[in-house]
């Protein structure tokens, strides 16, 4: 299914999902696999479009609404995505909130990586403890800002319903792939 949709010139693949779901890992693996099959791939991430801290945290460091609405420069992302990759390249782009209304129509193929809150917290604690100071700091920050921000996004944008496929990734050794409802 994915291979059939990736034929053509200058296609854009968006890999969306909550924090610590495995989006970057999937995007890197997909890009590598596509390159090994002779495709030219451009890799990018929403993380390259972070707004300055004074804009990201203007509603407070723990604001879920601030996380969802203020973290990234969506106009800059949109201007990049309005351009098709040249020379038949495939753009593999990962990040949170990629299927929000401002960006949903720019993707030629949309993947939503789903993960439970418990698994998200487990992975985030392992990944972010040093950056956020402690496992407790990670859990507090995720419960205050990131998980509620994702809940806002899920309720408002319904990404699992608009994605072409959903990858349930609670067990990375055995992810489940399912087509999104029509």
Query: What does the domain layout of the chain look like in residue ranges?
Result: 2-179
- At residue 133 the predicted structure's pLDDT band, cuts being 50, 70 and 90, is confident
The helix/strand/coil state of 62 is: coil
The separation between CA 142 and the C-alpha centre of its own chain, rounded to angstroms, equals: 16
- CATH dotted code for 2-179: 3.40.50.300
Higher-confidence position of 34 and 130: 34
The helix/strand/coil state of 140 is: helix
Residue 72 phi/psi, 5° resolution?
Answer: -125, 155
What pLDDT digit, counting tens, does each position of 161-177 carry? 999 999 999 998 898 88
Residue 179 phi/psi, 5° resolution?
Answer: -70, 145
pTM: 0.89
């Amino acid at each position: 299914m994915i291979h059939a949709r990736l034929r053509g010139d200058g296609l854009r693949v968006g890999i969306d999902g909550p924090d610590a779901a495995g989006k970057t890992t999937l995007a890197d693996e997909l890009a590598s696999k596509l390159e090994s099959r002779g495709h030219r791939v451009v890799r990018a991430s929403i993380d390259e479009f972070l707004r300055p801290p004074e804009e990201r945290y203007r509603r407070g460091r723990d604001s879920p609404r601030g996380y969802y609405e203020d973290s990234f420069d969506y106009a800059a992302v949109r201007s990049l995505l309005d351009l098709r990759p040249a020379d038949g390249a495939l753009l593999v782009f990962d990040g949170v909130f990629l299927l929000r209304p401002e960006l949903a129509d720019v993707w030629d193929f949309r993947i939503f990586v789903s993960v439970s809150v418990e698994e998200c917290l487990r992975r985030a604690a392992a990944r972010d403890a040093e950056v956020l100071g402690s496992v407790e700091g990670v859990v507090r920050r995720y419960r205050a800002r990131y998980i509620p921000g994702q809940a806002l996004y899920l309720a408002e944008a319904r990404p699992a319903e608009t994605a072409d496929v959903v990858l349930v990734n609670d067990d990375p050794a055995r992810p489940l792939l399912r087509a999104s409802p029509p």
